[in-house]
Structure 1
């Protein structure tokens, strides 16, 4: 074979593809071929046409892949944005919950002033209760003494 022709196999190896793909490109684009010794060969102009088609196809594939990657990056960017918004929302809710818990703790636990007032008021209340009990007992004692005096007078008067 002369130097200006290549077989489909040689061209496929050079372009890093298989013979079937080169054959499809030839049939699809009606590229002229020759048959020498039961082998299909391509002249330089046919080889350059296939190379050009292969480059265009590769560029087209790369553009498609680039577009897919771009849309994928856009989706990931949107997801990241959503995640950040949700994280910020969670942080705000957590701060609100903490503030609410602190408010509830403040309501539940009396302050130092309230504790002192309670400590001071408890003995006062106990003192008042004890005073009432003493008064009641004194009244009973007086009532008992009056009864005793009345009984004594009655007996005393009886003997007189």
Structure 2
């Protein structure tokens, strides 16, 4: 990690305040994931250090000593401007927003193509259903035609009964010859 990164304790010792005071000022920073060192301890970037230093200097302005006054005068050349910190945060947010928008645009394009494919499939399904319906109607009409051909008319019932009687008379007149088998002893 960089030498510019400091832990909360190091910054508190440097500014002469408690760790709780530093943590209080960290809360006013934008909520983002904090960096940690190799031991898992939270470290503050240079921008965050300057921001907290400015907050602490404003609160301790009345009680500072001559040593701190001299240090602050030298720090004024490097003094952290809160506006600069906020601008850097805004730029970071803009970059993230642009990335998210690009991802959303790609997702929308994918969804549009999926919708058009679904519409094509729906159209095909409807066409096939219409074809099936037409074919079913044709089959029904063919079946009706076939049934009308097979159904005997009312006057033809008498003819059928006559044919049956004739067939019965034929059986009586011409009895069937029984098959003679070699085991049949009734002859």
TM-score by length of 1: 0.52
Higher-Rg structure is: 1
Q: Which runs of 5+ in 1 are unaligned?
A: 2-6, 141-160
Whole-Å Cα distance in 2 between the matches of residues 58 and 125 of structure 1? 99
Whole-Å Cα distance in 2 between the matches of residues 65 and 25 of structure 1? 27
1:119 aligns to 2:140 (yes or no): no
Question: Equivalent residue for 1:16?
Answer: 31
Measured against aligned partners, the alpha-carbon deviations of 1:50-96 in whole angstroms (never above 9, x if no partner) come to: 22221111001011111111111111121111111111111110111
SS class of match (2:145) = coil
Question: Equivalent residue for 1:89?
Answer: 124
Q: How many residues were matched structurally?
A: 121
Measured against aligned partners, the alpha-carbon deviations of 1:37-60 in whole angstroms (never above 9, x if no partner) come to: 8xxx98343x33322221111001
Q: 1:19 to 1:129 in 2, by over 3 A?
A: closer
Whole-Å Cα distance in 2 between the matches of residues 68 and 16 of structure 1? 23
| Residue 98 of structure 1: how far off its partner (Å) | 1.0
Q: 1:108 to 1:51 in 2, by over 3 A?
A: same
The CA RMSD measured in Å over matched residues stands at 4.5
